Amino acid sequence: MRLKRFTLFFVLLLVLGACGETSSQNQNSDEKGSGKWAEIKENGELVVGTPGTLYPTSYYPEGSDELTGYDVEVIKEIAKRLDIDVKFEILGFDAMLASLKSGRIDVAQAGLREASKKKFAFSDPYKYSYSTMIVRKDEVADFKALADLDGKKAGGAATTVYSDIARKFGAEVKTYGNVTNDVYLKDVDNGRTDVIINDYYLQSLALEAFPDLDITIHPDLKFYPTTQNVVMDKDADLLKEKINEVLAGMREDGTLTELSGKFFGGKDVSKKPDEDIIEIEGIE
């Protein structure tokens, strides 16, 4: 009888120990997933990396020291609905994800790439687009396909998907720091570079701002569909959940459409474009 009692007591200890271990593991997992959100709430602000030089998504209007743009206003509205302040850190794209990894910023805004998915978490998209190329008007016919990038000079940042596309098809990439759109555009116009590969909506508006430049968007080459997302720590599960909830609300109540119309000439970038877009294999 005493042996049976001892055996039962021992089994109960094992069961309770296993439950305690599982509970501890779940608690650690919960703390890990909610830690970034708890930190942000405690600090009372969301620190966001943004270039500040990219019209119309993140820029300073002429004569103003107040940052604005589609990305900027989307993140401001997210912070407002989460009842926290927002602080912007001006960073070049090449420094953005490194700053996120080091903890200098809480979130960034960038497109979804497979390599980055292994290191960071991404919100649902709040912008859909695709890639195009700006070339000199008298050289449109020289670019019948992406393969015609071979031997050309393409302007871009070092680590963007657009530069990866240019390199994939044989172009030499002339890299820039965190410069404004006009620097890229003028270099195509004056012959220092031959092409800029970038987002369709951004390129369209950039051209409108500089009508005197002898450059244009290629009318036929539309390729590599893209999105813009809020990027955060890989383990920031609760923060991602909250941001996605807010974005869903902004989509449903028309806020994303309204902000898009304001910054993209009435176009709604919050919806997938209805275009025949060329997919590119081997670009993450």
- What are 239-273's pLDDT values in tens digits? 999 999 999 999 999 999 999 999 999 999 999 98
Report, as an integer, the average pLDDT of 176-198: 92
In the chain the domains, ranked by start, together with CATH numbers, are: 41-126+230-263 (3.40.190.10), 129-224 (3.40.190.10)
Given a cut of 80, is residue 90 above it in pLDDT? yes
The predicted structure's pLDDT at residue 255: 98
Is pLDDT at 224 greater than 90 in this prediction? yes
Q: What is the DSSP string of 147-202?
A: GGGTT-EEEE-TTSHHHHHHHHTTPEEEE--S--HHHHHHHHHTTS-SEEEEEHHH
Task: Kindly report which listed range (15-29, 65-79, 234-248) carries the lowest average pLDDT score.
Answer: 15-29
Q: pTM for this one?
A: 0.77
Tokens of 107: 């979130």
